[in-house]
Amino acid sequence: MKKLDYTGLDAKKVAHVVKELAQLLADFQVYYANLRGFHWNVKGDKFYQLHEFYESQYNDAATKVDEIAERLLQLDARPENRYSEYLKQTQLKEAGHEPEKMEGLQYVLDTLKVLIAQERRVLAAAQEAEDEVTVAMIDDYLTGQEKNVWMLVATLS
């Protein structure tokens, strides 16, 4: 039994949404892992602030990972769950190091640029497919991330 038969979404149009969401899922999973590493390994005089910041960011990323995966399931797709596959697909690189003070914040800002660009691709595909649920989800993501960009740019200036 297909869920799309009940939601009224066109499977052919939704296929592009699924492709773009799968890319976003891979990107968010690698971003999440990098943030965890930053959180665990941060050092220096800004330790407390950065430790808390990275934790808030990886918690947010974890929530989005779950929402993206569940949306894929709602669209009759199967979300990937293997990191080996994420690493083949992601637009990001594994960070794998201890960030020096503001270097980690710059990484977050640079990654938000990639995520926002991918989310805009998801948004365009979802609008084309008349998939209002995915549109609303991505609109919410962009609202929070654009505020993060503003705050990070102000911090790094």
CA-to-CA dists, residue 61 to 27, 49, 54, 57, 111, angstroms: 10, 18, 10, 6, 12
* Domains in the chain: boundaries: 9-156
Q: What share of the chain has pLDDT > 90, as a percent?
A: 84
Q: Which two tokens stand for residue 105?
A: 């914040």
pLDDT class for 46, splitting at 50, 70, 90? confident
Q: Determine the average pLDDT of the residues in 47-64.
A: 95
Q: Determine the average pLDDT of the residues in 9-34.
A: 96
User: Can you tell me which residue has the tokens 């890319």?
Assistant: 23
Terminal CA-CA length for the chain: 54
> What are the tens digits of pLDDT across the range 82-126?
999 999 999 999 887 777 778 899 999 999 999 999 999 999 999
More confident residue, 34 or 46: 34
Contact indicator for 115, 28 with CB cutoff of 8 Å: yes
Q: Which two tokens stand for residue 99?
A: 């960030």
What b-and-e string marks burial along 4-36, b requiring 16 or more CB atoms within 10 Å of the CB?
eeeeebeeeebebbbebbbbbbbbbbbbbbbbb
Examine the pLDDT at 131 and tell me if it is beyond 80: yes
Examine the pLDDT at 1 and tell me if it is beyond 70: no
May I ask the CATH class of domain 9-156?
A: mainly alpha
Q: Determine the average pLDDT of the residues in 118-146.
A: 98
pLDDT value of residue 93:
92
Q: Determine the average pLDDT of the residues in 67-82.
A: 97
State the pTM of this model.
0.94
CA-to-CA dists, residue 150 to 3, 37, 92, 153, 155, angstroms: 39, 24, 21, 5, 9
pLDDT value of residue 35:
95
DSSP code, position 101: T
Rounded CA gap, 25 and 95, in Å?
17
